[in-house]
Amino acid sequence: MPDDDSHWLQHWVHWTLLAGLAASAVLLTCGLAFMVGQGHEHAARHETLGMLCREAARFNGPAITTLGLLVLMITPIMRVIVLLLGWALRRDWLFAAVAFVVLGLLVLSLSLGVG
């Protein structure tokens, strides 16, 4: 294992990635099954995350599918946040700053795309 990254941090990153992947796989499978079952051939665009979640709670196939994709897209961002917090807790400010810059770039991309 890398010398400077203690095992608990690796463990947290591992579980963050695994949890995100598992949650998105479940949502994508259910969403696709509902879409095919309900006869939806296209997924409509939802204006806000709240609307998307409300539709998904009503077992709307396209909404569940879109939510699954968003969970998948957010997973690597969560991994960056976990590492940022982990390195900050260890007072490893250099790499916490590096993680902060990466997070900033992802927020920039989010605002350029969706904002």
Please, what is the minimum distance in Å from the beta carbon of residue 84 to other proteins? 9
The torsion defined by the Cα of 14, 56, 32 and 62, in degrees rounded to 10, comes to -120
d(CA 22, CA 88): 27
- By beta-carbon proximity to other proteins, the closer residue of 53 and 105 is 105
User: What counts of helices (H) and strands (E) characterise the chain?
Assistant: 4, 0
Minimum CB distance to other proteins, residue 95 (Å): 6
Q: Lay out the site mask for other proteins across 31-70 (x = CB under 8 A, - = otherwise).
A: xx--xx---xxxx-x----------------x--xx-xx-
| Residue 87: CB atoms within 10 Å | 21
Task: Specify the residue, 4 or 59, whose C-beta has the smaller distance to other proteins.
Answer: 4
Question: In sequence order, what are the residues at sequence separation of 6 or more whose Cβ sits closer than 8 angstroms to the Cβ of residue 11?
Answer: none
- Say how many Å lie between the first and final Cα of the chain, rounded: 39
Which residues contact other proteins by CB under 8 A?
Answer: 1-5, 9-11, 13-15, 17-18, 20-21, 24-25, 28-29, 31-32, 35-36, 40-43, 45, 62, 65-66, 68-69, 72-73, 75-77, 79-80, 83, 94-95, 98-99, 101-102, 105-106, 108-110, 112-114
